[in-house]
Structure 1
């Protein structure tokens, strides 16, 4: 994680490269690093399509931090709110990103002069961003419905047998 200097402007105020898409596994280290600069963190707003399902809150340093999924949040950002800082937006570099590109992206996003959008920082075009969003929606829908495992051995979803073998006669 890397942050811009406190009074810098831009679409994002820094960048973070988590190791997975499991928000609750990744947040403790991020919150520990951010709490040095932000003091008290109240809420984290994240794109619900970019992360595995998460609880509505987690505990950090004796405080409860609310986790709010949002379909309006940019797919590669995380918004952190607190009393003193207001709102801090971090670029989230996807965990599968090649390390050299991830490092360059984080350094660019943390530059005080950079005013790029999240998609521009990640070199994502408009069509690719929409394709990625739709693919993530389909994947999360598939997983929330149980994926392939739900149907394995579940007799209620198998087609009913009519006693006939689709027009094939046995002699």
Structure 2
């Protein structure tokens, strides 16, 4: 088992996280938004994503990614006193997605745009994923898919 402690902010962490989310209060969706990481190194990319999602999703404790998108990396990431468990899957449903879980809030599913995607295409996908009126995220979750709110 590999454990990685995230180093202090690397130079690319100074840049804003390329993230677009559906507006809050729009109901449950298959995809809650899109994320465009700068590299395929999950241990480098995850800390700024978690920071960007914290105001809305709280303390994320578990992340599931599809192995085909990311280079080999840790199964746990230590951020200060916080431990993030990382599950890797082959064919978890969509090769370009990430599922983030937080206790008490539920889950956030993001479409992951490959780092080498041309900027115009990536920007279009980010915009579409954050639109309620027909964008990528506007498809309601089917029954039994695993709604965001966790049972209390």
Per the TM superposition, whether the score is higher than 0.5 is yes
The equivalent of 2:147 in structure 1 is: none
Higher relative contact order (CA 8 A, sep 6+): 2
The TM-score with structure 1 as length reference comes to 0.63
Displacement after TM superposition at 1:107 (Å): 0.9
Q: Residue in 2 aligned with 1:10? A: 29
Q: Deviations over 1:15-68 (max 9, x none)?
A: 000011111111111111011211111100000111101111112353111000
| Separation (CA, whole Å) in 2 of partners of 1:113 and 1:7 | 14
Please, what TM-score do these two structures have when normalized by structure 2? 0.71
* Correspondence 1:17-96 to 2 at 5 A: 17-60=36-79, 62-73=81-92, 74-96=94-116
Q: Is the 8 A contact 1:18 1:93 kept in 2?
A: yes
Gaps of 5+ in 2: 1-18, 138-152
- Gaps in structure 1 of 5+ consecutive residues: 118-171
More helix by share: 1
Aligned length: 117
Give SS of 1:28's match.
helix
Confirm whether residue 101 of structure 1 aligns to residue 121 of structure 2: yes
Q: RMSD over aligned Cα, in angstroms? A: 1.6
* Structure with bigger gyration radius: 1
Would you identify which runs of 4 or more consecutive aligned residues in structure 1 move more than 6 Å? none
How big is the shift at 1:115?
Answer: 5.9
Larger proportion of strand: 2
